[in-house]
Structure 1
Amino acid sequence: MSNATTYKVTGMSCDHCERAVTAELTGVEGVSAVHAAADSGLVTVTFTGEPDDEAVREAVDEAGYELVGRA
């Protein structure tokens, strides 16, 4: 079972931003897919189990951006 959750992230403005966020989130345990869109500021994360909002927040912070919350 997989769960896709969309988050609002501030600070992304280009392809590099999308790649940085995707790279950090791909390393989070239980994440099977990531789609980041700088133009909308939305990041969709697919988990193999239950979504882990705190792990997502930490990964986005590590990439240099801010997680506002679920979209």
Structure 2
Amino acid sequence: MSFQFNVPDMTCGHCVSTITKAVKDAVPGATVTTDLGAHRVTVDGTTDVDEVRQAIVDAGYEAQLA
């Protein structure tokens, strides 16, 4: 299953790295794809949307299901 999140405060490569690490730590084996320009994070490999959203929030970013 794939989920997309709008992350409006993801503005640089450091943000991308932080979010990617947070999601992969929370959901081992997940695939994380980012589109910095669109402020979008796509996560494949989990069915728990709340766990993914919480990982992004705990990393310090807003996350809204797209």
Q: TM-score, normalised by structure 2?
A: 0.84
Contact 1:11/1:66 (<8 A) preserved: yes
Runs of at least 5 residues in structure 2 that lack an aligned partner in the other structure: none
| Cα shift at 1:31 | 4.6
Q: Give the residue type in structure 2 aligned to 1:17.
A: C
Contact 2:57/2:63 (<8 A) preserved: yes
Asked which structure has the greater CA Rg, the reply is 1
Runs of at least 5 residues in structure 1 that lack an aligned partner in the other structure: none
Q: 2:31 aligns to what?
A: 33
Report percent identity of matched pairs: 29
Q: Higher strand fraction: Structure 1 or Structure 2?
A: 1
The alpha-carbon distance between structure 1 residues 10 and 54, as it changes in their structure 2 partners (threshold 3 A), is same
Give the ranges of 4+ consecutive aligned residues of structure 1 lying more than 6 Å apart after TM superposition. none
